[in-house]
Structure 1
């Protein structure tokens, strides 16, 4: 079955943000998120996980190792 927002578990977080768990296993997690303009996640880090972001519209700002990156 093709996974999409329509057939995946949904959760809400932050100020109007949404997420959908497209894949959840011991070795892989794929989450699609919708973040309205001017929203942000709480500052956090991952000891073991890696993250991949694909920005479809707008810009995202990341702090990595003390450096600020703005991605469109």
Structure 2
């Protein structure tokens, strides 16, 4: 068996192991998870800068940087 074939077999074994682990995972309805997500967002929205923005411009890491530059060489 060549090195390439061994690598291929190892990849297939890893995939099968991963599928077996996933098969044994506990499943829950998406409707319940969606409700949990909505509740989480509502509870934490007062701290979410994506919803409310930053309290002041200096706290915003994405603000445009100063256009001041020194051209003296």
Work out whether the TM-score is over 0.5. Answer: no
The structure where strand makes up a greater share of residues is: 1
TM bucket normalised to smaller? under 0.3
User: With CA pairs under 8 Å and 6+ residues apart, which has the higher RCO, 1 or 2?
Assistant: 1
Decide which structure has the larger Cα Rg and report it: 2
The structure where helix makes up a greater share of residues is: 2
TM-score when normalising by structure 1? 0.21
